[in-house]
Structure 1
Amino acid sequence: MSETQNNLVINEEAQNILFREARTANAFTDEPVTDEQINAIFDLVKWAPTSMNNQPLRVIVIRSEEAKARLLPHMAEGNREKTAKAPAVALLAADTDFHEEMPQIFPVFEGARDMFAADDAMRASTAELNTGLQIGYAIIGIRAAGLAAGPMTGFDADAISKEFFPDGKHRVLVAINMGKPAENAWYDRLPRLAFDQVIKTL
């Protein structure tokens, strides 16, 4: 075991499932993604941190052929076939009205809701930033459930947001195909930056 692996508290198998051996999947088996798996993923990732505990992520999980027929025309051409064949597709959106839940989820600051309500630009940027964090947690959660994730941003975000969130208060940021990986589901592993290219300690 490497020095890196020795300095982590989760075991080597978990490290590999979540990070080293996990890659974006481009092909899936037809094994369904169950309600139980979806619930387990949410029950895990909901605990991950965000700023002021705001939770702007909203998700629609698409499994029916009817819903996929609404989605596929808005996907980039290169993403359509794999999305059509994935047993489930999660649309992860930012809710710009997340502040309405602040009295429930951040009761330590009574003015939180009104602070966000008074500043549309701050509320929108906060929603997008924290939804981005929650999307990262969701990918790890999908892997933790023994599934492969295929996150994509190649789609018409405005059209998909309008189609699936017609209230106009949500923006879809990422679509994630998920399921059991099929044979040859992966492209070759791409390089990563080295420690000294990224990290400085002062």
Structure 2
Amino acid sequence: MSLALDATAQDLLFREAHTASTFTDEPVTDEQVQAIYDLVKNAPTAFNQSPLRITLVRSEEARRRLVKHAMGANGPKTLTAPLTVVLSVDLDFHEKLPRLFPHAPDIKDAFFSELATREAAGTQNATLQAGYFILGIRAAGLAAGPMTGFDFTGIDKEFFGDGKQKSFLVINLGKPGTDAFSPRSPRLEFDEAATTV
């Protein structure tokens, strides 16, 4: 069965895309990151809540502060990437809901007055946004190296000392370098992953 995307786009976004471990030194500009965000900002979220926050780690000083919370090989990879971003959940995302979900201006108080509720909803929806963000990186012709091997509690203290953001993913991005990709590991087949009821 054919898909609406042509084969080239399918390969760019899905079939040929891999997690990158090395990158060239070609810079990733703020304009590129903004174009990526503008492409993917309409990712589906409940009530348009948009809890994802993106912290661009550019300076050497900030990169050193980040790398001290890395596990294993994630530190060296992060030191050499042209750009690293920390993705986090804004725990006060509900304050923007009256503007983002105008049909129900009282929704922030009706559903999100409790911090635990905001954290659960924010994490779920920011994770959806993160998946789209990675697709946006690929659509920009760049490679992404998403990593969870970090001490996120340490990152939160280091970068978000006010406790209003919780990090959950670090992504290196740029043009892939030498030996950037490991061989692709297997995935489940459709009949292993899907059930009809």
Offset of 1:117 from its aligned partner?
3.9
Offset of 1:159 from its aligned partner?
0.8
State the 4+ residue runs in structure 1 displaced beyond 6 angstroms.
none
Determine whether 1:93 maps to 2:88: yes
Counterpart AA for 2:163:
G
Further displaced range: 116-125 or 87-96: 116-125
In 2, distance between residues paired with 1:117 and 1:196? 38
Q: Which residue of 1 aligns with 2:113?
A: 118
Offset of 1:201 from its aligned partner?
2.5
Determine whether 1:165 maps to 2:133: no
Aligned residues: 197
Determine whether 1:70 maps to 2:34: no
Gaps of 5+ in 1: none
Offset of 1:115 from its aligned partner?
2.0
Counterpart AA for 2:61:
E
In 1, distance between residues paired with 2:177 and 2:14? 19
Further displaced range: 107-116 or 10-19: 107-116
Instruction: Give the alignment of 1:1-202 within 5 angstroms.
Output: 3=1, 7-202=2-197
After superposition, the C-alpha distances for 1:66-95 in whole angstroms (9 at most, x for unaligned) are 211111111112211110000000100001
Identity of aligned residues (%): 52
What TM-score results when the alignment is normalised by the length of structure 1?
0.95
Offset of 1:63 from its aligned partner?
1.7
- Tell me, what secondary structure is at the counterpart of 1:60? strand
What TM-score results when the alignment is normalised by the length of structure 2?
0.97
Would the aligned equivalents of 1:99 and 1:116 in 2 still touch at CA under 8 Å?
Answer: no
Counterpart AA for 2:73:
G
- Tell me, what secondary structure is at the counterpart of 2:68? helix
In 1, distance between residues paired with 2:110 and 2:78? 39
In 2, distance between residues paired with 1:43 and 1:51? 19
Offset of 1:120 from its aligned partner?
2.1
After superposition, the C-alpha distances for 1:2-22 in whole angstroms (9 at most, x for unaligned) are x4xxx2101101100100000
After superposition, the C-alpha distances for 1:168-199 in whole angstroms (9 at most, x for unaligned) are 01110000000000121001100010111111
Counterpart AA for 2:133:
A
- Tell me, what secondary structure is at the counterpart of 1:77? coil
In 1, distance between residues paired with 2:110 and 2:82? 41
Gaps of 5+ in 2: none
